[in-house]
Each structure stands twice: as structure tokens, then as C-alpha cells.
Structure 1
Amino acid sequence: MHIAFYGSSLVSAYWNGAATYYRGLIRQLALRGYDVTFYEPDAFDRQAHRDMEPPDWAEVVVYPADAQNLAAVVRKARDADIVVKASGVGVYDDELLDGVMAAARPDALKVFWDVDAPATLSELAALPDHPLHRALPDLDMVLTYGGGDPVVDAYRRFGAQRCIPIYNALDPDTHFPVAPDPRFAADLSFLGNRLPDREARTKAFFLQAAQMMPERRFLLGGSGWQPSELPGNVRLIGHVPTTDHNAFNVTPLAVLNICRASMAQNGFSPATRVFEAAGAGACLITDYWEGIDLFLEPDREILVAHDGAEVARHLTELTPERAHAIGERARERILASHTYADRAQQVDAIFRERKPEQETFPTPDRDLRKANA
């Protein structure tokens, strides 16, 4: 079964937090026998900041972000058994949605994969003429990065035939414990690009805690932050490539997760960072959001804070021994229940159900799994 997947980028995580989500899922779908072509625009300087070369488990087509080349890649949708348009491609999103779904064969599965459902749903509520309103009734399904029942119910109200959350997860071949790296030494670290709906929460949870604990060391990774705006005990290191994420996560005493405002308000939306940090065995502190306990147990596998003062309290009470124990329990839980192999099995079952004429799909075999390890 051939999947034409139109997304932001598979080969670059630069200003593209969905990259590891795409990689984990698509690699595991390839292991289950799917043939995936990922179409991504050459935009936002992502190709200049690639953190991986095109893999052997997916074909990657990078196209110039102009109308002529857009039309060429849209036509490729007619060759696919499953056509996926992801949210947040960043250029020509509306034209891509209309174009690839119109180009898809009548027997193809048509999927909108939303990697920022709360934001998309806010747009749908505010914009009656949003192209997705027109597309939803004709799509076979909406798959989402998360969101739980609130997102499912909202999409159904807007006319989606079916909406299913496919949560973030761990790729244990990518995120795992490594030796500490002095470059990332700190008491508390946070990794996140500066975005409008994250900035206020970063100040409330991370920078407030730093101001309350001037004797402790804080480390901030990500693009868009300015050193002059940070407390003196916060060290800014800029963009952190995915090759350094494991060391970034395991070196400090604890790592902080801060959800974007829309995802925190909606709940049931664990970020990729949660699973990546847990996979490395990091002690994770997260801002509160509904549904945390579906993934990790508070106070045992993860620490939960409602504001910067509570972050500071957790840090004050945290010893290296307790931090290590929390990180190890989190890693065991995630490996047992929340890997991309689990998510791909779920997606495979959904596709099987919607393609009843396909009595059997390819299944993993040992040689293919070994070749892609």
C-alpha cells in the first residue's frame, strides 16, 4: 500500500516540532509493509538545517515552494492508495488540501492528519470559509497528534466522519540513555522554540522559577530567545539538533516540559518532548494538563507543576537519586505502552478497517525489521 504524505518536513526538525512524530510513525509503518513518499516544501530554511538524510524507509521529495512545483506534487496524489495531508505544512496549506484530495483516486483513503488540533479547531470556529470546512465531509478520517475526547467531539461537530487521536510516542532506537555531556550541565533545562502561544507559559513556568532560585543553573534551548531578556542564571544555547537531544535530556538534574497554551487548555496532548525525555531516562517536570496520568503517573514517573513556584519547589526537593528513580520508572512505562510501534499498529488497524477489500496487508518480517534498525 502506497501512502502519499504531504507534511512540513521529515528530514529537518528546524522550527518543525512534528519531525520526530513523523519519523517514528512512518518508519514503523514502513516496517509493517507500507510504501511511503513524503512530500515537503523547501521553506523556512529547513533544508539548510537538516538533521538527517533521506532514510531508506521512506522516499522524500523536496519541492520548491512555488505554485508550479506545488501543482506537480499535487498530481502525485493520484498514484497513492492512501493520501495524507498534514496540518502546518507552512506554505500553500489550503491549496495542498484542496489539490491532493481532488487528485486522489476515488478508491483511495483520504486523511487529514492534524498535528496541532486545538489551533486548527480554533481556526475552524473563527473562519466559516476555512477550506477544511468544505473538505471534512469528503475525507475518510481525521487523525490527530492528540487531544482526546474534546478534539474528537469538536471535529465530529464540524462534519468529520471519523476522528481518532494518534498520540506522540517514543522511538527507542532514537531516544535512549547516553552519557552526560558537560555542554548541557544544569539543574533544570527546557527545550522549545519561542512561539506566541508558548512564550507566556515559558515565562510563568521556567523563567519565574529561575528568578526564584538565583543560586541554581538553568539551561534554555531553542530558537527565537534573546539573552538580554533572561535572568542571569539562565544560559541560552539556541537551536539544539536532534542528535544532541539525548544528552540534553540526561545531563541536567531535571528537564521541564511546557505545553503550548492551546494544548494545555485542551488537555490530552503530550508533546514529543515528554516521550523523548522519558526514553532517555530523564527526570521530567511538566506543566499541568488534563490527561497526564494516561501516559505517566504523577509523583512517581513524572512531576507536575501548576506554576513556576511549584517548579521551584520540585527542584528544591529533588535529589540526584530521586531524579534518577523517576526517570527510570518513566522510561519503563513508556517502553511498555507508548512506542511508535504501538502507534503504527493502531494506524494499521484503522487503515485495514477502512479498506475492507484489502483482506491482508503486508506484515513485518524479521529481515525488514533488521535492515531498518
Structure 2
Amino acid sequence: MSAAPLNIVVLGLSLSSSWGNGHATTFRALLRAFAARGHRILFLERDVPWYAAHRDLPQPDFCRLEFYGDLGGLSAWHGAMAAADAVIVGSYVPEGVAVGALAQRVANGVTAFYDIDTPVTLAKLARGDEEYLSPALIPGYDLYLSFTGGPTLDRLMRHYGSPAARPLYCSVDTDAYRPMEVAPRWDLSYLGTYSPDRQPTLERLLLEPARQAPELRFVVAGPQYPAEIAWPANVERLDHVPPAEHPAFYAASRYTLNVTRADMIHAGWSPSVRLFEAAACGTPVISDRWDGLDTLFAPDAEIVLADSAADVLRALRERPEAVRQCQAQAARRRILASHSAAHRAAELETYIREAGDRAPLPEPAFAALHGAAPHSFPQVDVHEER
């Protein structure tokens, strides 16, 4: 593959709506930075009512976004996929197995699976759940781009036959996520959609500290929390904070909490985008523990690790303000050096170019991919799985 600009097609869970999912913010940061490197992107999103009702980026300025109604609706985009330098299918895409099989048959360039949920995916496969990926598809993807690094990459190649499993961690748009001058509102915040396997940790590291420290202020922001949860009086609830308001949310927090899903703790090397976003905003992070976290942030110097309510309260009550600020500055420096969206976009470009050496598209195809109406693309005869 030459050093010419790349044309990629991404079939992801959502780009248009950040409601109830972390995929949209991940794709936005990565693809904006990828476009800034001179590449062109077509994002195909399944048109589903729960995201259609909460679209906060219906017309991105860094890529072309198109919606399709069902698997059959992708037939309008076969030509785009055939002409692309790379076709990337994301995790949790509806009918993802059929979509992946379609991409592998149609694409003439590199095919990749971008797993934003790798430990969850592997746990599902282990119990025979093939909601969006099947073991048979993995060897057919030229690249397995994983939110999880470490030993999981070797497992993907040795056990599942991936030709190339590569880490592509989440990242942050450091132009959008940066320190702000905002009056402190909470001593500890948490931003995340409800998840049953995260709730015990949230209980231990935020709700219990709130009960023990009524003089401190806490907030939990995110949708889908059950009505029966008993929130302490000093815990504020916000149903949703859109990405544009994340920096102000973090800036209003003396500390923010990172809570990791059980499958990701088990796998290790699975950072949440909230880690990077908060650190980029200059907000110190208190986190649960998992293998590999110390390769991303230095404990004590760049992040606080907590096992109990006592650990959290010790940080909130006893750490000097100067130490808190030093941690915030050190963590932000780490983000700027290693975990910005620009870093991830460069990694993605390298992985795609390494996966295959294909000539750049001729100019008519290049223009058709990003400027023509869908029906003008050449049609490819493909048997669609349903």
C-alpha cells in the first residue's frame, strides 16, 4: 500500500449518537484525527430508533455519515466497500456476523474488525454467543483491532486464528477535552451507563464513601440506572451528559472515578475512554485495579488506585491540594505524550498499510466514494446472510 491518502469504510454501532454507548465518542475522536491526516472516511450506521431519538452529531464535519435500515440496505454501499482501501466492522453492530461476512466477501482492500469490547466479545464467544462476531469470521479479517492489549492479543492469534491482532486503545480528542476554569461542584464524580457488573464497584467506591462522608458531594451521570437504587442524599444524579459537556463535567469534579467491567478486569490491559478524557481535562482519576493499568498511568503519581471506601475517602479527605494538582498535571502530560486521538490515528494508518500493499484508488472511484449518490456505485453480486 502506498503512502497516498486512504479511503476507508467503517460500519460501526453509532457515530451520530453518544446516548447509552461509548462507541460514538471513540469513533469521533479516532476518525476526526484520521481525517486530519488526509484520509477519507465513509461511516455506515444502522438506523435504529433509540439512537435516532438522541442524535447529538447527525452531520459530522470530518467524514461522510450514512444510515441504512437493514442488512439489505447495505446493498447500496457494496461499491463503496469494494473500492475502499480498508473496510472496518465494529463490535456490537446489529447483525454483525452477517455484516462481517458481507464485508469480507465484497472488500478488495484490507478488512478489519474493531473490537471496542474485546473481553466481553471473548466471553460471549466462550459461551457460544455469536451476537456480532463468530469464531469462523476472525481468520477472515486481515486485522483484529482490539481495545484490549496484553495477553489477549496472543490469544486472538493462537486460539482464534487472527492473522494480526493489534492494540488500538481508546483515545481522546485533546482539542475538545482540555482543562477549564470551572468552580468545583463535586468531590467525586462518575460518568458511565449503568452496567450490572460495574454496579458493585460503584457501590463500594462511590456510594459507600458518600454514606460515610455526608459533608462531601458526589454525582453519578449516565442513563439506564434502575429506579430501585437507593441514592444517598449527597449523590446527585444526571441522566445523560453529552460529549460536548464532558470537559465542564470533569472540570467541576475534584476527582472522578473509573469503574471497569468484570470481563475487562479479568483480561487486563483494557482502559476506558473515561480515563483518558478525564486526564486530558486535568481531573485526577481514582480507579479500581486491573493488570496493565500501571503501564498506562503511574500509580500515585498519575492515578489513585482504590480497593475500598476507605481508600477513596483517604484520597478525598487527606491528600493535599498540591498533590492533587500534581497528579492532574502528570496524567495530562501522559495523555498528550501517548494517548491522544492523533496517536491512535497514526497507529491505525500504520496497521492498515502493513496489512496489505494496494494501489490507491483511481480518481473517479475516489470521488464516487465520497461525493456520489449511493445508487451510482457499481453493484457487486453478493449473497447476503440473514
TM-score over 0.5 for the pair: yes
Residue in structure 2 matching 1:68, options 66, 72, 75: 72
Equivalent position SS for 1:77: helix
CA distance in 1, matches of 2:71, 2:350: 36
Partner of 1:216: 216
Deviation at 1:127, TM superposition (A): 1.3
Equivalent position SS for 2:287: strand
The letter of the residue matching 2:126 is A
> Are the aligned partners of 2:7 and 2:40 in contact in 1 as well (CA < 8 Å)?
yes
Is residue 237 from structure 1 mapped to residue 245 from structure 2 by the alignment?
no
The letter of the residue matching 1:254 is Y
> Are the aligned partners of 1:12 and 1:46 in contact in 2 as well (CA < 8 Å)?
yes
Partner of 1:79: 83
The letter of the residue matching 1:250 is A
CA distance in 2, matches of 1:44, 1:318: 46
Deviation at 1:271, TM superposition (A): 0.6
The letter of the residue matching 1:21 is T
The letter of the residue matching 1:51 is D
Pair 74,114 (structure 1): closer, same or farther in 2 beyond 3 Å: farther
Is residue 16 from structure 1 mapped to residue 21 from structure 2 by the alignment?
yes
Pair 203,345 (structure 1): closer, same or farther in 2 beyond 3 Å: same
Partner of 1:122: 123
> Are the aligned partners of 2:29 and 2:173 in contact in 1 as well (CA < 8 Å)?
yes
Partner of 1:290: 291
> Are the aligned partners of 1:51 and 1:243 in contact in 2 as well (CA < 8 Å)?
no
Structure 2, unmatched stretches of 5+, are 1-5, 361-386
Partner of 2:352: 351
The letter of the residue matching 1:194 is Y
Deviation at 1:245, TM superposition (A): 0.4
Report the number of matched residues: 353
Deviation at 1:304, TM superposition (A): 0.8
> Are the aligned partners of 1:190 and 1:221 in contact in 2 as well (CA < 8 Å)?
yes
Deviation at 1:68, TM superposition (A): 3.5
Per-residue CA distance 1:173-221 (angstroms, 9 max, x = gap): 1101112157xx1111101110222222222222122222222111110
Pair 205,161 (structure 1): closer, same or farther in 2 beyond 3 Å: same
Query: Which of 69-78 and 253-262 deviates more?
Result: 69-78
Structure 1, unmatched stretches of 5+, are 360-373
Partner of 1:256: 257
CA distance in 2, matches of 1:186, 1:223: 19
The letter of the residue matching 1:98 is A
CA distance in 2, matches of 1:289, 1:32: 33
Identity among equivalent pairs (%): 34
Partner of 1:313: 314
CA distance in 1, matches of 2:290, 2:180: 29
* Structural mapping, 1:58-207, within 5 Å: 58-64=63-69, 66-73=70-77, 76-89=80-93, 91-105=94-108, 108-127=109-128, 132-145=134-147, 147-156=148-157, 157-180=159-182, 185-207=185-207
> Are the aligned partners of 1:169 and 1:338 in contact in 2 as well (CA < 8 Å)?
yes
CA distance in 2, matches of 1:343, 1:67: 30
TM-score (norm 2): 0.86
The letter of the residue matching 2:201 is R
Deviation at 1:160, TM superposition (A): 0.9
Deviation at 1:258, TM superposition (A): 0.7
CA distance in 1, matches of 2:65, 2:276: 25
Partner of 1:41: 46
Deviation at 1:228, TM superposition (A): 5.1
Equivalent position SS for 2:134: helix
Partner of 2:325: 324
Deviation at 1:309, TM superposition (A): 2.8
Residue in structure 2 matching 1:6, options 6, 11, 16: 11
Partner of 2:376: none
Deviation at 1:133, TM superposition (A): 1.3
Higher relative contact order (CA 8 A, sep 6+): 2
Deviation at 1:281, TM superposition (A): 0.4
> Are the aligned partners of 1:254 and 1:285 in contact in 2 as well (CA < 8 Å)?
yes
Per-residue CA distance 1:19-72 (angstroms, 9 max, x = gap): 2221121112212222110111122522322222422221001222x3432444
Deviation at 1:75, TM superposition (A): 6.0
Q: Name the Cα RMSD after superposition.
A: 2.1
* Runs of 4+ that moved beyond 6 A: none
Equivalent position SS for 2:111: strand
CA distance in 1, matches of 2:179, 2:194: 27
Equivalent position SS for 2:10: strand
> Are the aligned partners of 1:296 and 1:302 in contact in 2 as well (CA < 8 Å)?
yes
Partner of 1:270: 271
Pair 5,305 (structure 1): closer, same or farther in 2 beyond 3 Å: same
The letter of the residue matching 1:246 is P
> Are the aligned partners of 1:288 and 1:305 in contact in 2 as well (CA < 8 Å)?
yes
Equivalent position SS for 1:38: strand
Pair 112,190 (structure 1): closer, same or farther in 2 beyond 3 Å: same
Equivalent position SS for 2:150: helix
